[in-house]
Amino acid sequence: MPKLVPLSELDAQTSGEIWVINTAAQSIYEIRGNIVIGIPNVRGGEPEVLTVQQTWLPVLATAEIPRQRILESTQFRKAVAKGLIGCISTETAARMMRQEGAREEQRRLLGVAQQVKQATRQRTIADSNVEMISTGGNRDDDRFDTRVDVIGTDGHSTVNVAELAKGGVEAEGGYGSAFLMFAETLKTDGDISSMNAIKSRGKLKRKEIRYLARTLAHHPKTSKFLKAQITKFEARDRAAQG
């Protein structure tokens, strides 16, 4: 995960862009989906919506909403405090946007955005025991229900769990069915698309990374990315052992 910028640092600044990333999968709630936040409207009425899509790419929060209104939003600050989103510097955002696969991921997000109205399921933050709204007070953002929009399986195509079970895959190594479905979709996905999907998924266990490395050996770029992750945690283990 890139280095995060605390809200106190943003509060101390008088100007500048606000870049955020979706960190919900790494939070204790392990939510995967678009984080939808209500920002108070100075003219009254319904709050404006800030959507932090489920992706490894950064989102420019100030693209359409003024900086001060974002920082004054109760929901925005709660989303940061709960670990559902994280703020990063403009420099970090620029580096991430230059990474391999960024252009392809942007195209994927455009495609997903066109399908939002056909989302298969929506659930609120409250459904995951994350309280994001105040029951008292009358500010605009207090009346807006922050939610997570879940589109298919991590925004990608789904496969039949029953078919996986028939092949004996579901029981392999104690992996969860959701992860196995995710891994199965990547087998026939493109190389860059697979790498971006893994980055966007967020938290993965070590054994899951190793499983993907074995399963996706036919994807050279994805395989290289996964092997680099394995090398990193093996190096940390050696350092910890002295």
Q: Provide the residue range defining the domain that includes 112.
A: 7-150
The model's pLDDT over 155-189, given as tens digits with 9 standing for 90+, comes to 433 233 333 334 433 444 567 767 777 788 888 88
Pick the more confident residue, 148 or 203. 203
Do 141 and 197 sit in the same domain of this protein? Answer: no
Domain assignment present for 102:
yes
3-state per-residue secondary structure call for 25-64 = HHCCCCCCCEEEEEECCCCCCCCEEEEECCCCCCEEHHHC
Look at residue 108 and tell me if it is in a domain.
yes
pLDDT for res 150: 40
Residue 1 counted as domain residue: no
Domain boundary pick from 131, 150, 169:
150
| Overall number of domains in the chain | 2
- The answer to whether 10 and 88 have CB atoms below 8 angstroms apart is no
Residues 89 and 108 in one domain: yes
What would the pLDDT profile of 78-116 be if each residue is shown by its tens digit? 889 988 899 999 999 999 999 989 999 988 888 876 765
Q: Are residues 119 and 178 in the same domain?
A: no
End-to-end CA gap in the chain:
25
pLDDT category, 10, cuts 50, 70, 90? very high
Q: Same domain, yes or no, for 98 and 203?
A: no
pLDDT at 130: 47
- Looking at every residue in the chain, the average pLDDT score rounds to 76
Digit-coded pLDDT (tens) for 118-127? 553 444 444 5
